[in-house]
Amino acid sequence: MKVKGVTVDLISRSKLEELTSSEKIDFIIGEVKKGKILILETGLTAAEQADLIKKTMSTIDHDTFIGIEMEGYPEEKVGFFHRLFGIRRSRITVIGPANLLKTIRKDDQVIETIIIPGKGV
């Protein structure tokens, strides 16, 4: 028997690091269009976020997919050598279908979201 509900996938850093930027974006869009909510351990770089928004806009069909809800934190510079060479590490990000996931509150410590009732698959 198939259990009804919303699938929330926690995607590990190692899984994300296996993917190129374009593979990562295709993966996210593909999963979100299936109605899944993804929590990315390492999030996306700023450039990847912009590419994800562009890809989302070109994927919207206005009947079954109206876009994404995405919330994360700015990339952070960690460690001496990271700071020296301007290397940043992206942080946790939650992404889901815009008709399913809604951000309630976000500050520099907490992202609070709700799953919109009745929209689960």
Partner 1 sequence: MGLLDRFRFSSLGRFLEKIFGRRHARIGIYGPPNVGKTTLANRIARDWSGEIIGSVSDIPHETRRARAKSNIRIENGNSSLTIDIVDTPGITTKVDFRDFLNYGMDEEEARRRAKEATEGVIEAIRWLDDVDGVLLVMDSTQDPFTQVNVTILGNLEARNLPVIIAANKIDLEEASPATLKTAFPQHPVVPISALTGHNMDMLYSKMIEHFGKKKRRRSK
- Phi, psi dihedrals of residue 26, rounded to the nearest 5°: -60, -40
Rounded CA gap, 9 and 13, in Å? 13
The reply on whether position 96 binds partner 1 by CB under 8 A is no
Task: Provide the pairing of β-strand 8-11 with 88-89.
Answer: unpaired
- Applying CB under 8 A, the span of 8-16, 18-26, 34-42, 67-75 interacting with partner 1 comes to 67-75
Selected binder of partner 1 within 50, 87, 114, 121 (CB under 8 A): 50
Selected binder of partner 1 within 46, 78, 87, 114 (CB under 8 A): 46
Q: Contact, 91 vs 106, CB < 8 A? A: no
Closest CA to 8 of 103, 107, 94, 110: 94
- Phi, psi dihedrals of residue 119, rounded to the nearest 5°: -105, 0
The reply on whether position 3 binds partner 1 by CB under 8 A is no
Minimal distance, residue 8 CB to partner 1, in Å: 18
* Nearer to partner 1 (CB atom), residue 14 or residue 107: 107
Q: Which residues bind partner 1 (CB under 8 A)?
A: 45-47, 49-50, 53-54, 56-58, 60, 62, 66-75, 98-99, 103, 106-108
